[in-house]
Amino acid sequence: MLRGSCLCGEVAYEAEAELSGIAHCHCKTCRKAHGAAFSSIGTVPKAAFRWVRGQDRLSRFESSSGKFRCFCSACGSQIVVERAEKPVVMLRLGCLDTPVEVAEQWHIWRSDGASWYDPKTPCRELAEGF
């Protein structure tokens, strides 16, 4: 069982499914929407997904034709993406509360990626906050 929630905790979901892989999307839209170098996503079947609280707090933004980014109207966390014609829901993995391990991960849309980030470049860990 996958469980996720927004930053303020007002919105939460469950998905009776497992992730088969993770995609790290570097497209300009994902970068702008998340204020980060990429967005990490995984898909679950729509039939396995359900909101458990806060559905009335959800707002939706159509970022491209038929693609709706659902986010908490209180804290702004992007939680899922839905497309009416697709049988899956795309989970924004930063909102997952459940630990997951997957065998497959991919970087997608690197051609659109931030000039200041290269996933092949190792990063050091800071002992203290930035």
Task: Decide if pLDDT at 8 tops 90.
Answer: yes
Task: Decide if pLDDT at 62 tops 80.
Answer: yes
pLDDT tens column, 94-104: 999 999 989 89
Task: Report d(CA 24, CA 7) in Å as an integer.
Answer: 20
CATH of domain 2-112: 2.170.150.70
Beta bridge partners of residue 106, listed in sequence order: 23
Q: Where are the domains of the chain?
A: 2-112
Region 18-39 average pLDDT: 92
Task: Decide if pLDDT at 37 tops 70.
Answer: yes
